[in-house]
Amino acid sequence: MRVVVTGASSGIGRAFCELILSSRTEAKVLGVGRNEAKLNELKLKYGGRFDYVVADLSIIGEIRRVVDEVKRCLGSVDVLVNNAGFGTYKDVLNHSDDDVLGLVGVNFVAPYVLVRDLVGCMGRGSVIVNVLTAGIYVLMVELSMYGASKLALYYVTEVLRRRLKDRGITVVSVFPGVVSTEFHRRAGLRGISGGVPAEVVARAILKAVEERREEVFIPKYLKVLKVVGPKLIPWYGFKLSKTQHHD
């Protein structure tokens, strides 16, 4: 099994790499991330079964370099996990041009380009996993551009699923709720606690891959948002205090 995972240096991506490498002894994983030290820890731990590419997926040239490295290192791809993503807690009118371009680049453009350019390396039985957010079913007032970029990825994921079905490629949509990672701190919020452990999300993703499930909500009860959520219920999330700031 040849696997590509973006956002592999921390959070859900790292947890998934650890899980598949420890449970599937035949798996070879290529991780993509920005923290080389963290990626190298996995390489030292798993040896030749894990390799990595250090890349900034907000830059189109870096995305294309990842494609080249995947083809060079793996040749073919059995599982592609588009997990990399980030958000910024800001008022909708306070995002700079760079904020918007960066969010859309990492959360939408990168996964789309990776699918488009790597699908030729994927045969029947392969799986594409796009990590979205259950937040697309509510109105994330303070994560508006994150929500918008993930909603765009959701839309194209639905189209890709139908487009690739005849080729025997399964497309999986993953809808996590709040996850216990560094996401909120990096988004500019301090003192966040709680959420589902990244390892729980990783196990749910692997199960979906193995069972060829088209969607998975974590926790499962969040699936109710498919019924009530399209009305985009306002969700203000964690309120920013005057002492909190954005990275």
pTM for the model: 0.90
Q: What is the 3-state secondary structure (H, E, C) of 43-91?
A: HHHHHHHEEEEECCCCCHHHHHHHHHHHHHHCCCCCEEEECCCCCCCCC
Q: Average pLDDT, whole number, for the chain? A: 90
pLDDT in tens, 149-198: 999 999 999 999 999 999 999 999 999 988 876 665 665 566 566 678 99
Coil, helix or strand for 32? strand
Coil, helix or strand for 133? coil
Coil, helix or strand for 191? coil
CA distances to 6, 30, 97, 183, 194 from 180, rounded to whole Å, are 18, 24, 29, 8, 6
Contact 181, 12 (CB under 8 A): yes
Coil, helix or strand for 218? strand
Residue 139 has pLDDT above 90, yes or no: no
Q: Which domains does the chain have, with CATH numbers?
A: 2-235 (3.40.50.720)
Contact 49, 2 (CB under 8 A): no
Residue 73 has pLDDT above 80, yes or no: yes
pLDDT in tens, 14-62: 999 999 999 999 999 999 999 999 999 999 999 899 999 999 999 999 9
